[in-house]
Structures are given as C-alpha cells and as structure tokens.
C-alpha cells in the first residue's frame, strides 16, 4: 500500500486538473498538470450530437470530471484476505477527501472509525417534518480482480467513434463489436484507463455523481427538497459493504445506490449470492518415500474442479436469469488446498441446490482419493432485492418519474451481480440501483461516459424534488 498524502487525505501531486475540456468545448489542446497520470485527447467538435437533452439541473460537468479523475487515482482496491474493515488504507484516504470536499460545500460530513462517510443535507421546505429522509449511496472500493493501483485515466473529448486503443498495453482494445453502446456515444467525453489497470468507475462514477449533485443543491437553495443522507461505504466488492452500517443512524425511508451501468436504468433485481469455501486436505510426505502414503490435495482439488459443470451453471455458459457456480480462487499445496466458489441465482432457493451439488461432487472425489477429506462451508452474502422493493413501490416509481422529467424513459433491469442495495433492501431499507455511466467494470477495458454521469447527477436532483412534492 502506498502512503497517505499530508493534506486532507490527498495523495501528493493530485489536485484539480488544469487543462480539461472547457464547458464550451474548446478545441485547444493540452493535458493537465498531472500529465504523467492523465492524458486528455482533444478532438475537433464538428458533427456529433449525442442524444442527451439538456433538461433539468445544469450541473457543472467540468467539476464532475475533475473530481472523478481525482478519485480514480486513489488506490482503493478491496482486499478479500484482509481482516480489518476497510480492507485497504486507500478507502480511508478517499473517505477523508470526500469529508473535506463536503464540508467545503457547507455540508455536515463525518467519517467514522470504520471509514464509512455519512453526510446530511437538511431539508429546505416548510413541510419537512412530513417528508422522509432519502439516502444516496456509493462505495469507495474497487474490485480486487484487476489492479487499481497507479491508475492513469485517459480522457477522450468528442469521441469520434471506432475502437479505442489503450496506450499502456497495445493488446488491450475497447472494441465497438463488444461495446455496441459506443455507437450512440459519438461526440461524448469518454474516460478509460491506460489498459494496465481498471479505471475504477465502479463505483467512483457513483461517488462523483453524488458529490456533484450535492454541490449543485447547495448552490441552488431555492430548489425544494427534503432531508438527504449521503452514505459512502467500503468493501462492497468483497461483500462487506454494509457490514458496519447502522440503519438507525441513516434513518432513511428509502435509499438509492449510484452503481449502475450506462444510462436510464433502474436495477430492481439482483442475484442472490452465497460464498462456498472448500478446504481439500491430503497427506504430505517426501516424494521419495510417497508410494502408498501421499494423498495429494492438489490432485483431489483438480478433480473436484473438473467435475463442476462447464456447459451449464458456469459464468462462461450462462446469461440472463441463469445462475452459476464460479470457482474463482485457489491456493495451497500437497497437504491442503482452499478453493473459493461463488454461488449465484435470482431464485434464492436454488443456492441450496448449488451447494448440494458442490457437496455431492466433493463426496465423490473423497471416494476417488482415499485418505482425503473435503470440507464445504457456505455463508450467505446478499439476496435478490426484488421482494424488498415490492414493500415500498414509491422507491422505483419516483425514480421513474424523476427521469421522465428529463425527457427520458427508465428501463427496469436486473443485474447479474449485487450492490450494497441488495443487502440494504434485505435489511429493510429499500434500495434500487441507478445508472451512473459505468461500462465494463472490474476490467482493464473499463470505461465511463461523462455525459451519462452528468445525466445521473441531474436525475438525482430531480429525484429529491419528486420526494419533496409528495409528503406522507
């Protein structure tokens, strides 16, 4: 882990970027004062008119981009093996920065002993006592699946179309064939990594959107809204995002995570999820005298993995609402091997069936490898949010109405994964997930669209107004 900066949790050399595209879309070339970590490609503005009607709040897109670029350059990778919460010091660093920025806006913000940041924007309407608290949530960590250290964001202004070559690795290309949504984003501002790391738009795009929406509301006190709670969690990517959250302290009737792909989507269903930890035990002895005595746990583990379905119930063979078992981590040696397996399905009851399948295969492997033992332990991670959202229909309905005021139609979607909202809804706080411009999360091919982030911020501003108009 890298050390902390000395001022407000900033890393040395990280501040607002000095040469980003202007609000008017100037064609002047140049890169930021952080040129060594952020390349800005300025292309001529002439023909492209992406379909993002400029209705609603005129949020500050330059500031939104500057903050996003600042956030992604802080390494907040979640560490699954770490015993502490949060699992990485970068999450504490980013949290301190957010507290500093929120307080500069005049918002009461605190970071607790667990690194969770919570802030409150008071109601500004006379009937506030009749209004529920609305929470907005994003997570500070990034996935452990791809490095989040030394991210070098690349800003493409006025994207002209076509495949995007990432300069840090010539073999990494964001292809239109794999990302057909790029065709409708010509003329937009896109942000990628250099191909050697992930970008971190999951979920720093959501963090930046919430901070910008909060800034706009503070700058426009005439816009009516009820009480708003801002919540920034840690370790969402390893299933621990709400582990230290106090729902009574949040005190909200409904929450929205800003952690979704693209634009115009409301995730109203997620996977239900369990984690299986499989420990294969053998017997180690010097190979020179091993005949009839050694039991190689590695061979038994390999046999178990080979027995798991590959043409079904596997991520690479499923789509839509199909669930899967996903062995994603293995470690150990002759004496003992540990395998971690994700169990996923939209139907929570089917997780038990997947666990039973895993245990049956383990039993067969033990019979094939006399002297071996295989222990399978399963723990819950999160559950499909669909049932919980039905208990508070306004959560989704008001989000739909807010987006319609921007001249757009919300798509109700399901996500083959989970969010903090999955657990929050399960715990009794209805929490749908909103789009915020993310694409290709957890990958070196991750990218984000500034206009989609801007739309998300305007969506949030409309959303808090809808809730203020409908007391009770």
Before 58, cis peptide (omega within 30)? no
By annotation, the residues acting in catalysis are 141, 236
In a domain, 53, yes or no: yes
The whole-number pLDDT of residue 259 equals 96
pLDDT for the residue 51: 58
CATH classification at residue 106: 3.40.630.10
In a domain, 342, yes or no: yes
Is 29 inside any structural domain?
Answer: no
pLDDT at residue number 34: 35
One domain for residues 50 and 182:
yes
Together in a domain, 137 and 252 = yes
Taking residues 211-227, what's their average pLDDT?
97
Write down the pLDDT at residue 44. 41
Segment 140-184, tens digit of pLDDT: 999 999 999 999 999 999 999 999 999 999 999 999 999 999 999
Q: Dump the DSSP string for 271-301.
A: -EEEEEEEEEE-B---GGG-TTT-B-HHHHH
Instruction: Check whether residue 153 and residue 290 sit in a common domain.
Output: no
Write down which residue in 360, 382, 404 finishes a domain: 382
Residues 127 and 236 in one domain: yes
Q: Are residues 291 and 357 in the same domain?
A: yes
**Closest by Cα among 18, 55, 22 to 402:** 55
Which pLDDT does position 4 carry in this prediction?
A: 28
Q: Of 151, 228, 227, give the one whose Cα is nearest residue 191.
A: 151
Q: Are residues 97 and 211 in the same domain?
A: yes
Within a domain: 21: no
Task: Return the CATH number at 318.
Answer: 3.30.70.360
Q: What local confidence, expressed as pLDDT, does residue 43 receive?
A: 43
Summarize the confidence of residues 203-216 as an average pLDDT. Answer: 98
pLDDT at 86 over 50: yes
- Output the pLDDT for position 470: 83
Dist CA 427 CA 382 (whole Å): 10
Ranking 16-25, 76-85, 313-322, 430-439 by mean pLDDT, the lowest is: 16-25
The rounded distance, in Å, linking the Cα atoms of 199 and 414 is 23
Q: What is the 3-state secondary structure (H, E, C) of 85-139?
A: CCCCHHHHHHHHHHHHHHHHCCCEEEECCCCCEEEEECCCCCCHHHCCCEEEEEE
Final residue in a domain of this structure, among 336, 360, 382: 382
Rounded to two decimals, what is the model's pTM?
0.83
The whole domain housing 413 covers 39-270+385-469
Query: Residue 387's pLDDT is what?
Result: 84
- Residue 443 is assigned to a structural domain of this protein: yes
Answer yes or no: do 72 and 190 share one domain: yes
Average pLDDT of the segment spanning 333-359: 97
Question: In the chain, what's the furthest Cα-to-Cα distance?
Answer: 84
Q: Do 415 and 328 belong to one domain? A: no
Q: How confident is the model at residue 27 (pLDDT cuts 50, 70, 90)?
A: very low
On the CB side of 248, CA atoms within 13 Å amount to 0
Query: Among residues 382, 399, 421, which one ends one of the domains?
Result: 382
Give the span between the Cα atoms of 350 and 290, in whole angstroms.
Answer: 42
pLDDT higher at 373 or 419? 373
Residues 276 and 266 in one domain: no
Whether residue 6 is contained in a domain is answered as no
Assess whether 366 and 423 both reside in one domain. Answer: no
Tell me: do 213 and 362 sit in the same domain: no
Is 215 part of any domain? yes
Residue 428 and residue 350 share a domain: no
Mode of pairing for the β-strands spanning 134-139 and 228-233: parallel
| Structural domain count, the chain | 2
CB–CB of 188/159 below 8 Å?
yes
- Mean pLDDT computed over every residue of the chain: 89
Work out whether strand 254-261 and strand 433-439 pair parallel, antiparallel, or are unpaired.
Answer: parallel
């Amino acid at each position: 882990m890298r050390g902390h900066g000395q001022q407000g949790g900033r890393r040395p050399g990280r501040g607002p970027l000095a040469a980003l595209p202007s609000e008017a879309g100037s064609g002047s070339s140049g890169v930021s004062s952080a040129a060594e970590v952020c390349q800005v490609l300025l292309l001529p503005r002439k023909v492209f008119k992406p379909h993002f009607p400029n209705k609603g709040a005129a949020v500050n897109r330059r500031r939104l981009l500057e903050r996003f670029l600042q956030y992604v350059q802080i390494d907040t990778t979640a560490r699954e093996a770490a015993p502490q919460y949060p699992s990485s010091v970068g999450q504490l660093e980013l949290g301190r920065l957010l507290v500093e920025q929120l307080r500069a806006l005049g918002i009461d913000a605190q970071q607790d002993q667990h690194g969770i940041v919570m802030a409150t924007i008071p109601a500004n309407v006379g009937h506030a006592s009749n209004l529920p608290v609305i929470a907005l949530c994003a997570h500070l960590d990034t996935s452990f699946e791809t490095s989040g250290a030394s991210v070098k964001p690349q800003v493409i202004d006025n994207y002209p179309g076509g495949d995007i070559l990432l300069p840090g690795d010539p073999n990494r290309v964001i292809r239109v064939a794999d990302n057909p949504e790029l065709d409708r984003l010509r003329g937009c501002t896109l942000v990628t990594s250099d191909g050697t790391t992930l970008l971190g738009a999951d979920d720093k795009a959501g963090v930046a959107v919430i901070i910008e929406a909060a800034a706009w509301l503070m700058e426009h006190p005439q816009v009516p809204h009820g009480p708003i709670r801002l919540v920034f969690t840690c370790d969402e990517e390893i299933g621990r995002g709400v582990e230290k959250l106090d729902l009574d302290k949040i005190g909200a009737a409904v929450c929205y995570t800003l952690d979704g792909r693209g634009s115009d989507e409301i995730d109203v269903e997620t996977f239900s999820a369990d984690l299986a930890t499989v420990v294969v035990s053998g017997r180690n002895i010097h190979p020179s005298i091993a005949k009839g005595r050694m039991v190689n746990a590695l061979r038994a583990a390999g046999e178990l993995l080979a027995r798991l379905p590959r043409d079904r119930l596997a991520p690479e063979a499923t789509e839509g609402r199909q669930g899967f078992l996903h062995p994603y981590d293995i470690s150990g040696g002759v004496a003992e091997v540990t395998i971690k397996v994700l169990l996923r399905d939209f139907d929570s009851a089917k997780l038990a069936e997947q666990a039973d399948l895993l245990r049956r295969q383990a039993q067969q492997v033990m019979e094939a490898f006399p002297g071996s033992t295989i222990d399978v332990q399963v723990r819950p991670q999160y559950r499909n949010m669909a049932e919980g959202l039905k208990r508070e229909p306004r959560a989704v309905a008001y989000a739909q109405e807010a987006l319609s005021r921007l001249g757009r139609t919300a798509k109700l979607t399901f996500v083959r994964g989970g969010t903090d909202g999955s657990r929050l809804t399960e715990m009794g706080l209805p929490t749908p997930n909103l789009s915020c411009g993310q694409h290709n999360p957890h990958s070196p091919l991750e990218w984000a669209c500034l206009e989609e982030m801007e739309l998300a911020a305007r969506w949030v501003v409309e959303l808090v107004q809808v809730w203020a108009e409908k007391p009770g």
